[in-house]
Structure 1
């Protein structure tokens, strides 16, 4: 995932996460990226310096958290570990496999993988319950 600094034609600045440059371009072209402040679909990427992830930076981030936040982060880490340990990784076939399971065409089991924004909306519209796994600081290494 790539974090982009974005701005709309009304001067509002915000951030967005995308799989890659092409993913942003596709969504922006289809007017799926909108400003959270004014809902303008005229959104552009802002110039930004690359974020280099270091263990020191992660330590500083965690050090700035309250005890409740650190505990919540650890709970999220444990949930993510359990899902990855006990579910099947299906990669970019997540949407297809979720549908097969939902409609009884494949064995019911826990799965995880990647899905496009459009696939996520389709699955939810079909009544298929899904939940994104959070991206944790250590996932970027």
Structure 2
């Protein structure tokens, strides 16, 4: 698993997890990697600290290796095992909780998508029209820049940034008014 530090042209910094560098490049070319803050798919990698494997084996593997007469020690006895190499495995209960949270988030995302109108790149314009009584009030979602969202807030127009997956019926994140 590769954990990458990513950023978008608006300066948002976020983390992405990918199976490999090829997986990251493939998703990037297909515009599947998007900034969770603004939805921009013009994402680039930042320098990030690598995970360094100092040769430590997981505790079970290390114990099995020591019980085998012909096995060489995993590392010299004088070298301490780094704390990062002793990462505990995630419990079944924690895995279930994580799955439940992910499932709830997906359901919530779908509910938002089903109960709002996607106005796309015209979000700020449509939110202003509703605020000033030029069109009927309704729940909308769409995309806008951070600058434009701040301007809407300064005008007293309530907006909430959302990071909705495209699978929820959304074309790349958005805001909700």
Match of 2:13 in 1: 15
CA offsets, 1:27-84, max 9 Å, x none? xxxxxxxxxxxxxxxxx9449xxxxxxxxxxxxxxx9x64333333222222221121
Bigger share in helix:
1
Whether the 8 Å contact between 2:116 and 2:139 is mirrored in structure 1 is yes
Sort the Cα spacing of 1:106 and 1:137 in 2 relative to 1 into closer, same or farther, 3 A. Answer: closer
- May I ask how many residue pairs the two structures share in their alignment? 96
TM superposition shift of 1:5: 5.4
Match of 2:131 in 1: 102
Match of 1:74 in 2: 103
TM superposition shift of 1:137: 8.7
Match of 2:6 in 1: 4
- 4+ runs deviating over 6 angstroms: none
Select the structure with the greater relative contact order (CA < 8 A; seq sep ≥ 6): 2
Instruction: Give distance in 1, aligned partners of 2:140 and 2:7.
Output: 32
User: For structure 1, which runs of at least 5 residues remain unmatched after alignment?
Assistant: 7-13, 25-43, 48-62
CA offsets, 1:61-114, max 9 Å, x none? xx9x64333333222222221121122110100011011111211111111111
Match of 1:115 in 2: 144
Whether the 8 Å contact between 1:80 and 1:133 is mirrored in structure 2 is no
TM-score (norm 2): 0.42
TM-score (norm 1): 0.51
SS at match of 2:137: coil
User: For structure 2, which runs of at least 5 residues remain unmatched after alignment?
Assistant: 15-34, 49-91, 173-177
Q: Tell me how large the CA RMSD over aligned residues is.
A: 3.7
